[in-house]
Structure 1
């Protein structure tokens, strides 16, 4: 379409040519035909001038358009290259995700194959027990004395999984250091604690936490024991209260943290996924001097924060003041995670605990399996693990002493377990390059007494599957006959 500006220019040129002819006709005195010829000539000249100027302007515009088109083409090429790079990155991520999924699937398949082998072994064990039970009642008991000891093993075998678990309890308990010390006055106990701290007679015992139902060792809890000048062992319940009242608990916590970090460094040499739980008292959190000392130490070792878990009592977290809350926040900002133990009820606020940095809650198995908790708690114990898991908190069932408890806890979707059933607390080697070696959970019936602690030269290994636990799992899978 013809633009309005072009029409306006054409009209102006006609008017200019007509005006020129009229002026020549009126003032110059030339004839009408001559003035018309002059006007036509002027109009022709104006038309040619306008055409030439428009052609030059169009040529200039075409050059600018070509330059703009070149710039647009370059931008488009850059965008295409950027899209290609992003597409390559997405393809790499998809390939890595597929590879990781294949690895996970392979791990699941291997575990299923392991479970199949275990089920076959369990079936054989159960069949053997049934044949022994069908053979008739056991022979009459022999008179007491040394000859009667060989008959104890068949009787334990005939008792089934429950009998074997009960028989293992005293053997496992024998590996724990019994107090064995005469009653002491408060002054004598304080003196014993001071001497133990000054002479470095604080011992660290490790008790494993295993995954359920695989029973693979995932974490260790550091348990503190104290030896007096006569090498008599005091458990934590015997001296913690006295140490807190005497103002010595801060030194104990700092020494235990130091030993736990050393243990964790040794364990992570062979297994990067291992973790250590270290108990911290409420007095240390509330005391500015002791907390500052512990905070400086933890700050220097914050590279171990993902694997070093600080454990507090449930009553401690419920009684936190503003200063203690700020101290816990300082630890959480440095990447340290917290655990709750000594749980007395199942009333939790998962969101609040997760905001404070709590990632583990240890609940006694008896409390989880107590039918009374259904009416006294805000949530059914079987749903507690799922509720905590939504906020990134893992539930650990502790003080497990029987296979029946393991089977019941599996129905509650509990992922971790701890107790004498798996392994009692075992001492570390007191000296030498393998000072952090711990006794394994295998063969708890061979546990030594306190005077001869069993230790290994390597970090703890995963316990092999127990026949009694496998039989219980097989019965659960098959169902009632």
Structure 2
């Protein structure tokens, strides 16, 4: 019946069937019909009771299962609360700080290994040069082998004792350094876009005695505070109003002022470029503080050496310098070459990202005009310095210098919030061409030559911290009455 009529219509069908059967029976035999109706009602009540009992059992079973599930859920919530109490969210911050410390230590170790490799390579070159000097200064005569045992002491340095007789050695220029990794030379830079020459890509020849004395004199002048700071203004076009300055390093040696291309390679060979950058940054901070005290809004930029980025702790010392003087925010600008911006490792990028907003960043010494404006803007670069020669007179044979036309370079950088500065402007006739290209800023001898900063400005002490301001709702303390004797004592 259920298959034919369905579960919901089976009772209706049974009722209709009972009426059809019991109706005629009631007319013929009323007692039999009443008895049959009673039996049908009893059967229906029995079936309903059985169904109600089955439903009650199912409800009890479902209630027990819900009870078990609720108990399990309570246990899970209690376990989650206990684990949250054992490992609070602060543990994640501690883990992150631990990972950061390990990353910093790995960076320090990599810098130490890099410096050790360069020192070992330099020492190997010195040993090869020392071994080559006796052969070049005192050649051994072919017919007098007995005179070789007593060389001139002023020309030949004593050789270390050896158990085996000496064997002829190959030329030092063809002998590679054993067990010493060769340092990878930095990428080439254009000659003097902001005072730094391009480093040599090949190993320099051994210096002579006069050159060595000259280098020692340069290093001694650097140690004796012969370093000077010259400022060259950056002007806005076409008004030629000064908006910022660039600090250039100069070295005074025996009354002669040398440009960086004369002394910077020597400092690089002696490993003193980081000392130069540290001293220059201290003086640039003093100059920026002096300009702020005079009410000037001009910033001061300084171009770092790429080797300083690999010095462990240099960028952290720069962060401490800026943190100690919050007034330098936006007034101190650090310039890095294009090759350094393209080859930053994870540690350097993180250190520069931590300085973003506290100091300004500038790209200089470009090798081409392929600027990724969006990537530079994400790193915080606000200015790009390009030599005027590279913008106006692109020499043939230098390849495609940019992916876009030079006329659209200013607009492309401006959309990313980066301003273009044309540097090394040496001819007055280049100024109208730069204005036609919509170059907003320029720098060069046409506008002003670099000038030395006065010694009293660099010797100025740091500005004292400002006293904390009183809250608005707190009244000023009333003036104190002092006895007349104190006034007389101060007057005397």
TM-score by length of 1: 0.49
Q: Choose between structure 1 and 2: higher helix proportion.
A: 1
TM-score by length of 2: 0.48
